Amino acid sequence: MSRPTVNDLAKAAGVSLATIDRVLNSRPGVREQTIRRVNAAIEQIGYVRDVTAANLARQRRYRFAFVMPEAPGEFVTLLKAAVTEAAASPIVDRTELTVATVPPNDPHFLVKTLRRLGAQDVDGIAIFAPETPHVRDEIAHLKENGVAVVALVSDLPNTGRDHFVGVDNVAAGRTAGVLMGRFLGENQGSVLVLASSMQARANAERRLGFDQVMSDQFPTIQVLPSLEGHDDPDTIRRVVSAVLDNREDIAGVYSVGTGNGVLVDLLKEHSRGQGLVVIAHELTRNTRRALEDGTLDAVINQNVGHIARSALRVLRAKTDGIDILSAQEHIRIDIVIRENLY
């Protein structure tokens, strides 16, 4: 009563295993008539190939590398954990993973790392890094050598990367904008925006989406120019306090990038930090806690587990030259408030 195997199929079609295999893998050297006979038998007995057994026999091994910033932020840490966890799961059987971390904002080091990985002939690389000319060149070089390349979290649109695994950051910014506008409601005023230099492209896109929505749908709310925190706790603290101290009309805070730990602490201490609508990105220990205690009203998140698994699937498909199911590889924008935090 178990699933039919190639043996059953061979018997049913009256041919040998080798011929079955040739037909199954559409290899040359089989008469048209024989092919039809085998296909008929496949229908007949309802054969479906055991992919894992095939992979085992084929001895196919995938060697992938993930390159990620050695960043202070919790998000990167979470992503890294998700990658190693995904790699351990049986979904990604027969693949070896290298996770390389590079200092942020050091294009030279990044390129050197990519080159090194390319030399170790990996089959594919997932890169979480900003786009620079050097990186572009190195990616082109990798692709010439047949290495699959996917961009992670922040896109590298002008590099010829095979795929981007991450959310549409403009849409993420729009989502933040709608929530900000609707949560503020009649409570008009200004919105303070805290920027961050990390992953410049992603953050710029979010800001763009946020501004689109605010000016289109909530024109009476004034969105202030970004405060640049430069991911430095002291700077963030200083610039944000200054605005809160001096402007009575601040009603909301939008944190585009990293640095939410400091921001949350500051808001909790500051006399004006209580009634504000505060929205940030990425669910981490800090933002989670802030949602729980009400400092944060919403978090726009991208699921690191999904990102890791999707990257692995896409890399595999690309190195096999197979099409990806783009529906499955779409990374959704999660909205998290206290009630659906878990």
Do 314 and 324 contact (CB within 8 A), yes or no?
yes
Place of tokens 């799961």: 89
**Min. distance of Cβ 29 from DNA in angstroms?**
4
* Residue 88 or 341 having the CB closest to DNA: 88
Residue 7 interface partner, choices a copy of itself, DNA, none, CB cut-off 5-8 Å depending on type? DNA
30 binds, among DNA, a copy of itself, none (CB under 5 to 8 A by kind): DNA
Residue among 3 and 238 whose Cβ is closer to DNA: 3
Q: What share of the chain is helix, strand, coil (3-state, %, to 5)?
A: 50, 15, 35
Q: Among residues 13 and 331, whose Cβ is nearest to a copy of itself? A: 331
**Helix 169-184 and helix 200-217, axial crossing angle in degrees, nearest 10:** 40
CA–CA gap between residue 105 and residue 108 (Å, rounded)? 9
Nearest to DNA of 6, 208 (CB atom): 6
Min CB(7)–DNA separation in Å: 6
The H or E element containing residue 313 is: helix 304-320
**Would you say 129 and 102 are in contact if contact means Cβ atoms under 8 Å apart?**
yes
Nearer to a copy of itself, 151 or 291 (CB): 291
Q: CB of 91: closest distance to DNA in angstroms? A: 17
Q: Which residues of 300-313 are buried (b: 16+ CB within 10 A; e: fewer)?
A: bbbbbebbbbbbbb
In the complex, minimum distance from the CB of residue 46 to DNA, in angstroms, rounded to a whole number: 12
Residue 17, contacted partner among DNA, a copy of itself, none, CB below 5-8 A by kind: DNA
Residue type, 117: L
Nearer to DNA, 53 or 242 (CB): 53
CA distance 318 to 94: 16
Largest CA distance in the chain: 87
Our CB check for DNA shows the closer of 3 and 115 to be 3
**Residue 175 CB, nearest approach to a copy of itself (Å):** 4
The residues that touch a copy of itself, with contacts defined as CB under 8 A, are 2-3, 50-53, 55-56, 61, 90-91, 93-94, 96, 171-172, 174-175, 177-179, 182-183, 185-187, 213, 300, 330, 332-340, 342
At closest approach, how far in Å is the CB of 287 from a copy of itself? 16
21 binds, among a copy of itself, DNA, none (CB under 5 to 8 A by kind): DNA
Contacts of 53 (CB under 8 A, 6+ apart): none
Q: How far is the CB of 153 from DNA (least distance, A)?
A: 33
Q: What is the distance between the alpha carbons of residues 260 and 231, in angstroms, rounded to a whole number?
A: 9
Q: How far is the CB of 25 from a copy of itself (least distance, A)?
A: 17
Q: Residue 28 binds which entry of a copy of itself, DNA, none, with Cβ cut-offs from 5 to 8 Å by kind?
A: DNA
Burial class (CB in 10 A: 0-12, 13-18, 19+), 149: buried
Q: What is the DSSP letter of 95?
A: E
Cα–Cα nearest to 261, from 296, 228, 226, 227: 296
First-last CA distance in the chain: 42
Residue number with CB closer to DNA (59 or 340): 59
Q: How many CA atoms lie within 13 A of 203 on its CB side?
A: 23
Residues of this chain that interact with DNA (CB under 7 A) are 2-3, 5-7, 9, 14-22, 24-25, 28-31, 33-34, 47, 49-50, 53-54, 56-59
Partner whose binding site includes residue 90, from DNA, a copy of itself, none (CB under 5 to 8 Å by kind): a copy of itself
Cα-flanking dihedrals φ and ψ of residue 284, to 5°? Answer: -130, -175
Which is nearer to a copy of itself, 35 or 178 (by Cβ)?
Answer: 178
Closest approach of DNA to the CB of residue 147, in Å: 21
